A and B are shown apart, each in its own frame.
Chain A
Amino acid sequence: MRIETRTGVWSVALLVVLAVVVLVSAGIGPVAITPSTVAKATLNGVAVPASVSFGQASVAGVTLPTPTVGYVHPFSFPVEGSHQTIVTTIRLPRILLGAVVGFALATAGVVMQGFFRNPMADPSIIGVSSGAAVGAVAFLVAPFAFPFGLGLQGAAFVGALLTAFGVYLIATEDGRTPVATLLLAGVAIQTFLGAVISFMLLHSGESLRQVTYWLMGHLDNASWGDVTVAALLVPLLFFVLLAYGRDLNVLLLGEEDAHSLGIEVERTKRVLLAVSSLVTAAAVAVSGVIGFVGLIVPHVMRLLVGPDHRILLPTSALAGAAFLVATDTLARSGTAELPVGIVTAALGAPFFLYLLRTQEVRSV
């Protein structure tokens, strides 16, 4: 079967799985709601931009035309008001955020494992998560406001990108970035940032609980704003990475081989590193440090669909989305709600060890 066909079949199947997981998950909680009601409530929430009208607004003394978009709700199924509210304003934002974050982490995991030709690589291997954590913790602990009106997510995002860029600069010499140097620089920077975070924790006082909670990885308090930003950014970046699927395959053969097969190795590495760091940063900024999704999901999908990145990337992304929605449902359906990072690690680590022992973690 051609790779395009296989990719299509697997992607459709996993999209169905994701849809089912989302529907079921939105029905689970203190108020149980049937999947059909969830579906209706979701469709009721769909808004389609239908008209644009221009009004006048005055900015700094200049009068500018401002667009106002009119939305049409094409569906109006009869759904009990409280159920409608629970589904569209409480559960769906969280579930969709989980889906986007899972999608992003699994995507970045695939790319990093291929990039480093190392099955133990995960999205935060070059310190992206640590950088995000430093940004977030600083925001929560520091007694001053951040410049440019950065919020918590903004601070985490900036921290993540600064760290990734710093590690890249440290590991680059004469326009070449040896993968091994990058890996070691990442480890060193992560350790250093770990110390910075610990130091800030000591001085966090009142906000200690909030900081710890953020660090554990969580999806609650999700707003439609977070979801919208992440859901626009992540798929866009995903398609950039997917366009590099063939290059990632060839890079698995080693950089010299990749060069002789016509890949501009250093340029490709820069693109992959930058885009996957952005993807990871977007995920970590809105959800904190959620471990193991980016490690386990690519592994399992590689066992199922093989190492070709053209199929591995989309299937891993969709599976990551479904996996994180499912684990978050588990995390919030207990008597006391847990941060989802605890659940993914608690499930992921034993599963990983199982793979390790059964020799199924062979190679990238």
Chain B
Amino acid sequence: MSRRNGSGETGKDAAIRVDDLVVELGGVSVLDGVDATVERGTFVGLVGPNGAGKSTLLRSVSGLLRPARGSIVVDGVSIAGRSSKAVSRLVATVPQNTSLSFDFDVRETVAMGRSPHLGRFERFGDDDERAVSEAMARTDVSQFADRSVTAVSGGERQRVLLARALAQDAPVLLLDEPTASLDINHQVRTLELVRDLVASGKTVVAAIHDLNLAAHYCDELLLLGDGQVLASGDPESVLTEANLETAFDANAVVSRHPVTGSVYVTALPENHRGDREGRVHVVGGGGSAARLLYLLDAAGYDVSVGALNEGDSDTETARSLGLDTVTVPPFAAVDAETQTAVESRVRDADVTVVADVEIGDGNRANLDAVRAARSLVLVEERPFAERNYAGAAAAETYAELRERATVVSPSRVVGAVAAAVDEAQNPTDAGRNSDATRSAQSSQSSHSSHSSQSSQSSRSSDHRS
């Protein structure tokens, strides 16, 4: 936890220092000039896409691979040219998958962790016995010490391997995907255990492909991509959208997890922008619109949202999607100026969507602004009466809006918006019913009075058809 110990002694007392490391496998350089420092007593997560060189880096530090260039110093000792016995007293490895298909029992398996400390003709002594028992107690595997390793579950097996590494009594632990094949309770249990080990002085480097687990449990992250270190430091500074884009070539959204407070990464489908065109304004709040915003944005619409309070979860979502967002300060009411801003967006929009949001005095002005909408979709999960805290006036406004709106359940919003946008953009196509006619008229009027954007998209869709 170097961050907490302060950065004054950075590097001086490092558990692992890697300098300009180049590792080639089969003539291809897998690591290409990696520099990294791991402070004593920290938990460092190695993240990056498949093939970035995470395992290769771990295998180099454990002395398994001989670097083509560069140096690795563990606990002040350069591991180049050391015997595997000497290295295995400094570095213990918990492998990703091991062939535990032999009928050794759990205790025997853990006892193999003592082999770096035993001479060829040396007997297993009391010290060794104690180290094994402690390691098993620590990892909570003592209760099935006499069971065969082939007969324990995946999560238990992971703890047995961790116990074996602990019995090795090395200051540095390397874990290769410790959670890869575990279900979520064992993932958390394993990492909590690792966290405890770090707290008691071990230094841990783990390759972890789950970015959110890595962000939550690690003190620092090292982001590898194409054999190089793309970023390193605390999780917040490493897991940025720009870094993720570079490393994973993925479209990810970074936010904070509401419960744990850790950095939270959500990957969005790669080709997330649909080819829908048109402007949509959304009225939401309190999380009622988050999914809606994502779906509409993903479908390709030009989405605006508001008015929302700063700090609202919908605001967070809108920001992370990069949407045009009208906001007021936390807990403040929507004032006249903001209402005008919302109104202008509603007018510009082909369709306005009102989410299943609770209406109070603070955000009643949003409903008033929505009156200007050309075409309207109301999302109803609960009847309006159940979520109206703004009295009869609001109910009246809502009823008036409902009169001319398409009312849908949350699962059908995108379809309804698509239909409404088509109608709004192709007035000649419409005219089958009064609603459609009305929205077509309002569409035309807005063409003359307002946005050129809207008419452009209208033209382009004409062009398309």
Contacts and interface: CB of A to CB of B under 8 A. Distances in A.
Interface of A: 3-4, 117, 243-244, 246-247, 249-250, 252-254, 256-257, 259-265, 302, 306-308, 362-364
Contact of A264 (B84, B92, B124): B84
A256 B64 contact: yes
B99 A254 contact: yes
Contacts of B92: 260
B104 A308 contact: yes
Interface stretch (B110-118, B256-264, B316-324): B110-118
A260 B112 contact: no
Interface in B48-100: 59, 62-64, 83-85, 87-89, 91-93, 95, 98-100
A358 B345 CA distance: 76
Contacts of A117: 99
**Of A243, A263, A264, most B-chain CB atoms within 10 Å:** A263
B88 A261 contact: yes
Nearest to A261: B115
B101 interface: yes
Given A260-B88, A260-B93, A264-B83, A254 B116 contact: no
A261 B116 contact: yes
Contacts of B150: 363
A363 B102 contact: yes
B103 interface: yes
Contacts of A252: 99, 102, 104
A260 B64 contact: yes
Give the interface residue-count category, chain B. 20 to 34
A254 B98 contact: yes
A302 B102 CA distance: 10
B95 A249 contact: no
B95 A263 contact: no
5 contacts: A244-B120, A250-B115, A253-B98, A261-B112, A262-B116
A364 B103 CA distance: 8
B123 interface: yes
Contact of B88 (A243, A254, A262, A362): A262
A246 B98 contact: no
B64 A249 contact: no
A307 B102 contact: yes
A362 B59 CA distance: 31
Given A246-B115, A256-B95, A259-B63, A307 B84 contact: no
Given A363-B102, A363-B150, 14 more contacts: A4-B123, A244-B120, A252-B104, A256-B59, A257-B93, A257-B98, A261-B115, A262-B83, A262-B89, A263-B84, A306-B103, A306-B104, A308-B104, A363-B101
A363 B103 CA distance: 8
Nearest to B117: A262
**Of B108, B112, B123, most A-chain CB atoms within 10 Å:** B112
Contact of B103 (A247, A254, A362): A362
A305 to B, nearest CB: 11
A254 B98 CA distance: 7
Contacts, number: 82
Contacts of B64: 256, 259-260
Given A252-B102, A260-B92, A260-B93, A246 B118 contact: yes
Nearest to B105: A306
A252 B113 CA distance: 14
Contacts of B99: 117, 252-254
Contacts of A257: 93, 95, 98
Contacts of A3: 124
Nearest to B88: A262
B458 interface: no
A307 B112 contact: no
Given A259-B63, A262-B85, A264-B85, A243 B121 contact: yes
Contacts of A4: 123
A243 B92 CA distance: 24
Nearest to B85: A262
**Of B91, B93, B150, most A-chain CB atoms within 10 Å:** B93
A253 B84 contact: no
A252 B103 CA distance: 11
B42 interface: no
Contacts of B121: 243
B98 A265 contact: no
A261 B63 CA distance: 11
Nearest to A265: B84
Contacts of B63: 259
A363 B150 CA distance: 10
Nearest to A306: B103
Given A259-B63, A262-B88, A364 B115 contact: no
A250 B112 contact: yes
B168 interface: yes
Contacts of A364: 102
A256 B65 CA distance: 10
Contacts of B112: 249-250, 253, 261
A307 B84 CA distance: 24
A184 to B, nearest CB: 19
B62 A262 contact: no
Contacts of B98: 253-254, 257
B108 A262 contact: no
B160 to A, nearest CB: 12
Given A259-B84, A261-B115, A308 B120 contact: no
A256 B99 CA distance: 10
A117 B100 CA distance: 11
B84 A262 contact: yes
B77 to A, nearest CB: 15
**Of A4, A252, A257, A364, most B-chain CB atoms within 10 Å:** A257
Contacts of B102: 252, 307, 363-364
B62 A260 contact: yes
A258 to B, nearest CB: 8
Contacts of B91: 260
A363 B151 CA distance: 13
Given A243-B121, A256-B64, A308-B108, A262 B115 contact: yes
A299 to B, nearest CB: 13
A108 B167 CA distance: 31
Interface in B143-194: 150, 164, 168
Contacts of A264: 83-85
Nearest to B174: A260
Nearest to A254: B99
Interface string B10-21: 000000000000
